[in-house]
Chains A and B, each alone.
Chain A
Amino acid sequence: MLLVALLSVASVWRPWVEVDERTRGTLGWVSEFTRGLDFGVDIVGGSRVLLSLQASHLVFRFNPSDLPAAYEEVVRILENGLQTRVLPVDERGEAIREGLPYDRYTGIARLEVGLRATEGLLNLVENLVGGRATLLRENVANAVCSQTRNEVIEILKNRVDPLGTRGAVLKALGGNLVLYEVPGLEPREAELLLGKQGRLEIWLENEVLLYGEHILRVDPPRASLQERNAAELPFRLTDEGAGRFREGAAGKANYPTVVYVDRPTDAVLLVQEELLSGLPVLEYEDYSHMFRARGFPEEGGGYYLQVPAAVTPGSTLSVEALSFLEEMSSTRFRLLLVGEFSEEVVEGLPPSYSLENVPRPGEGTEAWIREACGCKSVITISPSLAQELLLGRTVRDLVITVSRTSGEEAMKEARTLRTILSQRLPVGVSVEGETVLEARLGSTFLKQLLWAGLFSFLGVGALVFLRYRRPRITLAVMGTMILELVITLGVVSLLPYSLNLAELAGVVLVIGTGVDAQIIITEEVMRGGVREVRAPGGLRDRIRRAFRVIWGSSFTTLVAMLSLATLGFGEMRGFALITILGILLSVLLTRPLYARMVNAILGKGEVGG
């Protein structure tokens, strides 16, 4: 037990680890001795990110006599054309769960699509729908129904804080906005985890072969044995997905399959011409306005990156690029910038586009272009696999290979990719703004808690002494309390846990109130006299009886706290989990230890009678 306690102290202290600057700034000297602990927003501050859900409600008028066929066709066309979920909503903007998704007399139907309503989107929708229905532009709104919003909140919670121990809080702010609060998440990480929808597509011969819904599960990533600085992300296909893969890939030895995550279907790429010299694999094809991998499909090349692109010098906007961008502006509404462009170029761009700089991933231009297109990996079908598929064998397990500048980065990216793919969002999300939150209470709360803990400790000791008048029993009770505190914090330091107000209060409460069990053991043992205790089995029976009471109440608290943890109430989940942890540690470790101490003390004859 002493060893466990020493290891716990070492794990909380961790003198070999650098002190987090933010924690040092808030907690001062305390941070030197708590390097192993991760403090939450309330103690060391954090970030608040305002997220905007990319969804809009489109209103269509159908000819009532064409319903329901026209409605169903429009929904299918929009799902395929916009690559997004289409959800029928009522006039209040809420999802329709029962009844017809349209008004059969007026022919009006409202559909939620996972894209922001812009001029470009509306043009695209009108093009796609054609004469099947009329889009009522004046009634279109950027809005999201509460079902979608709640789904997004739950998925994002699972992405960033799956165990509910990081203290992440997500709240709907009305309209399309969601407020997200979390301690210590880097902006880039936040953008990756929160801003990605997780829409997977696998293309073969420039056609989509598999979608995200064809994935049954995504397994943990592993380091690649074939490639340096790469990680492999294995995933398993559903029955339908495996069937589609067999039909598409059978006999296609060495053909490339291109894996996209969140391919920007609403965007055009603008690439700086100077970057394109000497690209090893990709080349820009003027007539298709796309990037293409050199070679032929049967040699692993010949595939297109499925995002339209224009190329222009960094200093001036070329006539060809401008004309192509103008042509695309009716159906695309975002412009992704790859490279550095002068003000002249930016000012000359068609105003209907919203501009976004694509951050350079740091491994050359090709990786930058692929990143902008959402292209995560290119897998070549091996000759043996192609042959087996041809013979009718079903292959369910595939692998996405992620390459980065280092193996560690590749693993990190693969882990993020796994989270995103496992937790796909029904609509797109963009980060609208981020602010740094000052610590709510910071070191003040820690000091207050320290005083409260110290006085509780002394108070409990005094009460126990007044009751039993036995210094050794009192010392045993107080020593057990200290051990419990040290071991609980030690275990917490090993877990992905952010200690917030609730968790710290939980630690003090669990330990302070855990003294109940020690009193029950002492009372049970000290009732009667030395003779009764020293009778064969006497002490053991009494301790067993005491443990029956302790187990009963501990299990009841465990059940209550498990239900609180399941409720998923933001910070209260952390409180519940730390209480469960504290109870388990005390019931399994410190209570038996205390029983042994009492046994030893009473064995020497120090017992009431």
Chain B
Amino acid sequence: MRLDPTYHLHRWSTRRMLLPPLLLALFFLCCILVRGIPLSRDFSGGTLIQVRGMESHPTLGEAKRLVEGLLGGKVEVRLTSYGGLYGLDAEADNMDLPQEVRENLRSSLAEELGVSENQVAVYNMGSILTSLSKRQARNALMVAPVLMAIVILLNFKSLRASGSILGSVWLNVFDALGCMSLAGVELSTGSMAGLLMLLGYSDDTNTLLITAVEKGVGGKPRERAAEAMRTGLLVNGTTFLVLFLVNLFTTSKLVDELTFPLLTGMVFDVVNTWFLNAAVALSKKERREIPVAL
């Protein structure tokens, strides 16, 4: 038996096709409501520990293990140097340490690294977002969907088609956020960029579907949708492959943050485009084509 990924497009009713994406969205809504979305240091701020004036340099791995051992959590360690002496900068999540604990941390770290206490400084690091950039961010996030809607509306000149594309595209973002919540992946500048990039990637499969169903020639709408789905799966497949390989081969946290929402979003795009959006587009088309007497 040959596995046909377009089976549902031939055999399922449009109502039945709506179920998987809606159940998935409901599940992720519950995840977000219960678990929330963790914020990274980019947004919530953090703690910076600077050690200066060391005679020799520990390796990055040693320094990381040492600081993580003292703090009991994940930290990002950078090696530094100045004027022939060495140091390290360790960034941890916001600890909001009381003064007493902070002093203890300084003395422990100084002892472990063989430096004096005044060579260790602990700072509360703010978010990278200043109040001005928060305002800019709010404006940009409000303007982006409007501009996208205009672009899609101009392309299709149909409110219904544009609405269904926008709905499906944003549902991908929502599902990816839900997945981040489920997996405990932090919302950072990297994952934010990934989520925004997902909008563009999701758009082309949705446009393929609507173009095939609404404006395609030859065959029944469901056959055209199935043909478009095959193209869409290849398109998603190549994108997924590239993202997966970049994620697999690189060890950068930033790249992980960037690719996680894209990879998960690509998977949800299949469900939201070829089930939800296909159901909306086909129901309209079929209603139009079925004789009134029936």
A selection of 28 A-B contacts at a CB cut-off of 8 Å is A170-B128, A172-B125, A174-B124, A174-B126, A435-B81, A437-B80, A438-B80, A438-B81, A449-B246, A464-B238, A502-B193, A505-B254, A509-B243, A509-B246, A513-B239, A550-B204, A552-B155, A553-B201, A556-B200, A560-B197, A566-B139, A568-B137, A569-B133, A569-B137, A569-B192, A570-B42, A572-B192, A576-B196
Q: Chain B residue with minimal CB distance to A451? A: B249
Our pick among B131, B193, B252, B259 for the contact of A576 (Cβ within 8 Å) is B193
Q: Check A564–B192 contact: CB distance below 8 A.
A: yes
Contact status A171-B144, CB under 8 Å: no
Interface size (A, Cβ < 8 Å)?
80
Pair B140/A502 contact, Cβ less than 8 Å = no
Indicate whether A150 sits within 8 Å of B132 (C-beta atoms), given known contacts A560-B200, A561-B196: yes
Nearest residue, chain A, Cβ from B173: A560
What 6 pairs between A and B have smallest CB-CB spacing? A557-B200, A512-B242, A553-B204, A172-B126, A150-B130, A452-B249
Q: Do B125 and A179 have beta carbons less than 8 Å apart?
A: yes
Q: Are B199 and A557 in contact (CB under 8 A)?
A: yes
Which residue from B42, B204, B227, B262 sits with its C-beta under 8 Å from A552? B204
User: A154, B133: Cβ atoms under 8 Å?
Assistant: yes
Closest CB-CB distance, A50 to chain B, in whole Å?
A: 8
A555 touching B241 in the complex, CB below 8 Å, given contacts A438-B81, A444-B251, A452-B249: no
Q: Residue A516 at the B interface, CB < 8 A? A: yes
Tell me whether A527 and B204 are in contact (CB under 8 A): no
* Cβ contact within 8 Å between B80 and A516: no
Compute how far the CA of A463 lies from the CA of B254 in the bound complex, rounded to whole angstroms. 28
Q: Could you tell me if A154 and B251 are in contact, using CB atoms closer than 8 angstroms? A: no
A146 at the interface (CB under 8 A from B): yes
- Which B residue sits closest to A511, measured CB to CB? B242
A573 to chain B, nearest CB (A): 9
* Inter-chain contact B143/A563, CB cutoff 8 Å: yes
B13 located at the interface, meaning its Cβ lies under 8 Å from any Cβ of chain A in the complex: no
Q: Among residues 188 to 207 in chain B, which have CB atoms less than 8 Å away from a CB atom of chain A?
A: 189-190, 192-193, 196-197, 199-201, 203-204, 207
Complex contact A508–B249 (CB within 8 A): no
- Let me know if B140 and A557 touch, CB within 8 A: no
Q: Give CA–CA (A172, B192) in the complex, Å.
A: 21
- B3 contacts which chain A residues (CB < 8 A)? none
Distance (Å) between the CB of A323 and the closest chain B CB?
37
- Does A545 sit within 8 A of B, measured CB to CB? yes
Q: Which of A527, A549, A553 contacts B227 (CB 8 A)?
A: A527
Question: In the complex, A560→B194 CA distance in Å?
Answer: 10
Report the bound CA distance from A502 to B131 in whole Å: 24
Interface of A is mostly: helix
Stretch from B103-111, B146-154, B281-289 at the A interface: B146-154
- Cα A154 to Cα B189 in complex, Å, equals 18
Cα of A441 to Cα of B79 in the assembled complex, Å: 11
Assess whether B200 is in contact with A441, with CB atoms less than 8 Å apart: no
CB within 8 Å of A: which residues of B?
Answer: 42, 48, 50, 52, 78-82, 87, 89, 123-133, 136-137, 139-141, 143-144, 147-148, 151-152, 155, 169, 189-190, 192-193, 196-197, 199-201, 203-204, 207-208, 211, 215, 227, 231, 234-235, 237-239, 241-243, 245-246, 248-252, 254-255, 258-259, 262
Q: Would A567 and B201 count as touching, CB distance under 8 A? A: no
Q: Which residues of B contact A463 (CB under 8 A)?
A: 234, 237-238, 241
Q: Which residues of A contact B (CB under 8 A)?
A: 42, 48, 146-147, 149-151, 153-154, 169-174, 177, 179, 433-438, 440-441, 444-445, 448-449, 451-452, 455-456, 459-460, 463-464, 467, 501-502, 505, 508-509, 512-513, 515-517, 519-520, 523, 527, 545, 548-564, 566-572, 575-576, 579
Interface of B is mostly: helix
Closest to B87 in A: A435
Q: Are B126 and A505 in contact (CB under 8 A)?
A: no
In whole angstroms, what is the CA distance A557 to B124 when docked? 36
Query: Measured between alpha carbons, how far is A554 from B242 in the docked complex, in Å?
Result: 18
The answer, among A169, A177, A449, for a CB contact under 8 Å with B250, is: A449
Cβ-defined contact, B189 with A556, below 8 A: no
- What's the least CB distance linking A257 to chain B, in Å? 35
Are A150 and B207 CB-contacts (below 8 A) given A455-B249, A516-B239? no
Say whether A448 contacts B190, CB under 8 Å: no
List B contacts of A558 (CB < 8 A): 200
Inter-chain contacts of A459 with B (CB < 8 A): 241-242, 245
Known A-B contacts A179-B125, A512-B246, A570-B128; A467 and B151 likewise in contact (beta carbons under 8 Å): no
Contact among B123, B190, B211 for A572, CB-based, below 8 A: B190
Report the Cα distance A93→B257, complex, angstroms. 36
Q: Is the CB of A508 within 8 A of B242?
A: yes
Residues of B within 8 A of A552 (CB): 151-152, 155, 203-204, 207
CB-nearest residue of chain B relative to A151? B132
Contact call B255/A505, Cβ cutoff below 8 A: yes
Known contacts A149-B130, A435-B81, A516-B238, then 18 further A-B pairs from the complex at CB < 8 Å, ordered by chain A residue: A154-B133, A179-B125, A433-B52, A434-B82, A438-B80, A452-B248, A463-B241, A501-B255, A505-B255, A508-B246, A509-B197, A513-B238, A554-B200, A561-B197, A567-B137, A569-B42, A569-B129, A576-B196
